[in-house]
Amino acid sequence: MVAAALALLLALAWGGVRYPWTSPIILGFFAASAALWLAFGWRLLHAAEPFIPLTMLAEPVVLGISLAGFFSIGTIVGLSIFIPIYVELVLQHSPSASGLVLIAFMVGATVGSMVAGSADAKARSLQACAGSRDADRHRVDGRVCACARRSHADRGHAFARDRRRRRGADVAGHDGYHPERGSPCISSASRPAR
């Protein structure tokens, strides 16, 4: 993978600058890069424990997240390279000023990702409660459902485990708690008959 990326980068950096695009050296670098990427793909398909299991990319959610991560990381790397160049060459500021601008960019990106992650967790937990259709959908044992107020990570599995212990039950999920969803909300479809 490293050799394939290196050959591609050399071809892109030297092409049209040090050598013509149609020169044997540049075309050789492109051909070597393509061959090495194909060899890397073949290795991923045939290795017992591949670096990146390609079967995971068959899942649409994983594929979407991988593509989003690819483009977002590419954007961040591009901005972290070009923002200092823009500040120094176009705006005529000092390297120290361009460093301060880059620090502001990184702090904003970090805080923004934390806020977005928290908002996503809250939206998902509220969505889990909204999925219940019965009248007492926000109540479990007379208490307001944890996902209506805060993320299920606070109480989720511990709440269900304690509840099963109090009842003396050994079957997980008999009370409507779904371990994979992690929400203590009981929907009408999963409520056990009494």
Residue 131 — very low, low, confident or very high, per pLDDT cuts 50/70/90? low
- Could you state, in order of their start, the residue ranges of all structural domains in the chain? 1-54, 59-130, 136-194
More confident residue, 166 or 194: 166
Q: Which two tokens stand for residue 84?
A: 């200092």
Residue 36 confidence (pLDDT): 95
- pLDDT for 45: 82
Our measurement of the distance from residue 126's CA atom to the centroid of its chain's CA atoms, rounded to an integer in Å, reads 21
pLDDT, one tens digit per residue, over 150-170 is 444 444 555 556 656 655 544
Task: Measure the CA–CA gap between 59 and 32, rounded to whole angstroms.
Answer: 31
Higher model confidence: residue 122 or residue 161? Answer: 122
Statement: residue 121 has pLDDT above 90: no
User: Collapsing DSSP states into helix, strand and coil, what is residue 15?
Assistant: strand
pLDDT value, residue 141: 40
- 123 contacts 148 by C-beta, under 8 angstroms: no
Q: How confident is the model over 137-160, as a mean pLDDT?
A: 47
Q: Environment class of residue 10 by beta-carbon count within 10 Å: exposed (0-12), middle (13-18) or buried (19+)?
A: middle
Residue 79 has pLDDT above 80, yes or no: yes
Q: Outline where DSSP puts E strands in the chain.
A: 139-140, 143-144
C-beta of residue 54 within 8 angstroms of C-beta of residue 44: yes
Residue 72 has a pLDDT of: 87
Average predicted confidence (pLDDT) for the chain: 74
pLDDT greater at residue 26 or residue 186: 26
Share of the chain above pLDDT 90, in %: 20
Residue 180's alpha-carbon distances to 61, 102, 149, 152, 173, in angstroms, are: 16, 40, 20, 12, 10
